[in-house]
Amino acid sequence: MTREAYWVLVWRQFCKHKLALAGLAVIGVMAIMAVLAAWVGRYSPTAYDLEAMLQPPSPAHWFGTDELGRDVWARMVHGTRVSLQIGFVAVGIYVAVGILLGALAGYYGGWVDLWISRLIEVMYCFPTFFLILAVLAFVGPSIYNIMIVIGLTSWPGIARLVRGEFLKLRSQDFVQASIAAGAGDIRVMFRHLLPNALAPVLVSATFGVASAILVESSLSYLGFGVPPYVPTWGSILSQAQEFMDIAWWLTLSPGLAIFITITAFNLVGEGLRDAIDPRLRV
């Protein structure tokens, strides 16, 4: 079976997972909202209207307004852009780092594998969330810092996956044939081995986006995330806790957004895992 035929089969199996397709549709809608936030949001997310403070949902303000009269719908839409941006970029960083280190450890073995494996174990010794908090306390909160910090602290899982796949594949006949034909190490690793090791990485990355969004929301809620003037789901939720008893809509919107987004990515990850792993196919 060619690689293209394999991924066609994976897609067909994925399409049989109705909940995964629903999750993918939700992610697609959120991505469109994030791209078109300036038009979909209707209002500026930072515009004050002191005559419309703490108004409940209405035709003028679909999700109501906050304590400064800012439109909650506009802030939620722009928060979608921030959350997805952080999720995808952070995952892209740690997938790249994990693939590189895992490939080196699994392909070369020996002392390279030993040192990288020890580094992975050291990283696992630190609780990731508290490590991110500690680093952000020094570098300061910003969107770019959060992306980089999450990316540089979350790669060990990907590295272990890639290392295991490379250890399993490097003795296969097609790899030995490539080496015998004179292919260099870089070509063997990234042209022959990596494409055959990507399946579990894609599944892990899908779950990783959900995890990164949750981490960003938690950081923003605690005040360690993006700057206060940038609307994010976590910061909206944090600012709303003072008005929970008189403005229920301020906590409902970001809470539902976080829940729906995390659930959608987890459903897609489970569907992709079921499609890729033949042992889970019905």
- In tens, the pLDDT along 243-258 reads 888 888 888 888 899 9
Alpha carbon distance 50, 37 (integer Å): 23
Alpha carbon distance 153, 93 (integer Å): 10
Alpha carbon distance 184, 258 (integer Å): 46
- In tens, the pLDDT along 9-50 reads 888 888 888 999 999 999 999 999 989 988 888 888 888 887
Alpha carbon distance 233, 75 (integer Å): 8
Provide CB contacts within 8 A for 236, sequence distance 6+: 66, 72, 75, 76, 79, 250, 253, 254
Q: Do residues 216 and 141 make contact, with C-beta atoms less than 8 angstroms apart? A: no
Q: Do residues 161 and 102 make contact, with C-beta atoms less than 8 angstroms apart? A: yes
Domains present along the chain, CATH in parentheses = 44-264 (1.10.3720.10)
* Local confidence band at 1 (pLDDT 50, 70, 90 cut-offs): low
Q: Return the pLDDT at 3.
A: 64
Alpha carbon distance 240, 190 (integer Å): 48
- In tens, the pLDDT along 196-234 reads 888 888 888 999 998 888 888 888 888 777 777 788 888
C-alpha distance from residue 278 to each of 204, 274, 275 (Å): 17, 7, 7
Average pLDDT over residues 96-116: 91
Q: Which amino acid is at 200?
A: P
Q: Return the pLDDT at 27.
A: 93
112 vs 2 pLDDT, higher one = 112
At 265, give phi and psi (nearest 5°).
Answer: -65, -35
- In tens, the pLDDT along 118-150 reads 999 988 888 878 888 888 888 877 888 888 888
- Cα of 208 vs its chain's centroid, Å: 4
How many residues are recorded in the chain? 282
Mean pLDDT computed over every residue of the chain: 85
Average pLDDT over residues 163-169: 88
Q: Is the pLDDT of residue 281 over 60?
A: no
DSSP per-residue letters across 2-39: -HHHHHHHHHHHHHT-HHHHHHHHHHHHHHHHHHTHHH
C-alpha distance from residue 29 to each of 24, 32, 197, 267 (Å): 9, 5, 30, 15
pTM: 0.85
Between CA 16 and CA 6, with CA 272 as vertex, the angle to 5 degrees is 85
Alpha carbon distance 175, 158 (integer Å): 22
